[in-house]
Amino acid sequence: MTSALRKLFAAAALALLCLALAGAAYAATTAELIAQGDALYAQRADLAKAKQAAGLYEQALKADPKSEAAAWKLSRTQYWVGMHAPKEQKLAIFQSGVDAAKQAIAINPKSLPGHYWLGVNYGVYGSAKGIMESLSLVDPIKNEMAAVIELDPNYEAGGPYRVLGRLYYKLPGLFGGDNEKAIEYLQTAVKKGPHRYINQIYLAEVYFDEDKGHEANQLLQAVINGPVEPDYGPEDAEWKAQAKKMLERK
């Protein structure tokens, strides 16, 4: 091998090494951004930190557009932020949640959290927009929850059944609303997620609507007295406060 060829091979090897090192640093940066976002999301009771978490997930997704984790975690965080945002900001935030979940599914068509958070964000987007103006989202929500049930019916403590139960309760009867179906789905959600207290709260709402106050009160009392689910402290505090208000009103 000539001296020129040796130099050429050495230069090529050095270039490949630099590319490999750059790739490793690239991956580490994305992982670090997601980890920082996770740490802030754990403190989401402080809305400013939840917004910071969303920003970090967005950065991670820009750094690696193929990061399913960054995409679905952004969608989940935008749901939380949107639920606590002023009315005039909700649509844009929930739309961001929809877009992020769609990206997770584009990355992985069987993305369990992608399908779940897409359906959830569709639901809250529709609620913010107004039921009559968002009827086109009913079938997409059902489709996303069907995908979640096929992948894992227990996901998010009965999450797909919770979403479907809420959907059938909120829909006007003329457009498919059905309290019996709502009760059936929400009872399943409660069985699958006895400490995910939003299940009981949603079911109690339907019971009150059906003049089943005794059953509703029992559910709400269980929410107030029940143990906190690990990693759901911020939600638990809100659910217990909501249950107390519902009991006081009835």
Taking alpha carbons only, the member of 170, 148, 143 closest to residue 159 is 148
Question: Are 54 and 83 contacting, i.e. CB atoms less than 8 angstroms apart?
Answer: no
pLDDT beyond 90 at 134 = no
Lowest mean pLDDT among 10-14, 55-59, 101-105, 160-164: 10-14
| pLDDT confidence tier of residue 65, bands split at 50, 70 and 90 | very high
Distance CA 48, CA 87 (A): 17
If you classify domain 66-249 with CATH, what class do you get? mainly alpha
Q: How far is CA 214 from the centre of its chain?
A: 32
Instruction: Report the percent of the chain where pLDDT is more than 70.
Output: 88
pLDDT beyond 50 at 247 = yes
Taking alpha carbons only, the member of 123, 174, 171, 124 closest to residue 145 is 123
- What's the whole-model pTM score? 0.87
pLDDT beyond 90 at 120 = yes
Instruction: Report the percent of the chain where pLDDT is more than 90.
Output: 84
Where does residue 86 fall: left (phi above 0), alpha (psi -120 to 50 degrees), or beta otherwise?
beta
Distance CA 41, CA 57 (A): 10
Task: Give domain limits for the chain.
Answer: 66-249
Question: Are 66 and 30 contacting, i.e. CB atoms less than 8 angstroms apart?
Answer: no
pLDDT tens for each residue of 190-204: 999 999 999 999 999
Question: Are 62 and 69 contacting, i.e. CB atoms less than 8 angstroms apart?
Answer: no
Give DSSP secondary structure letters for the chain.
--HHHHHHHHHHHHHHHHHHHHHHHHHHHHHHHHHHHHHHHTTTTSHHHHHHHHHHHHHHHHH-TT-HHHHHHHHHHHHHHHHTS-HHHHHHHHHHHHHHHHHHHHH-TT-HHHHHHHHHHHHHHHHHH-GGG-GGGHHHHHHHHHHHHHH-TTHHHHHHHHHHHHHHHHS-GGGT--HHHHHHHHHHHHHH-TT-THHHHHHHHHHHHTT-HHHHHHHHHHHHHSPPPTT-HHHHHHHHHHHHHHHHH-
Beta-carbon contacts of 190 under 8 Å, excluding residues fewer than 6 positions away, are: 158, 199, 200, 203, 219
**Residue 234: HSE in the Cβ half-sphere, 13 Å Cα cutoff:** 14
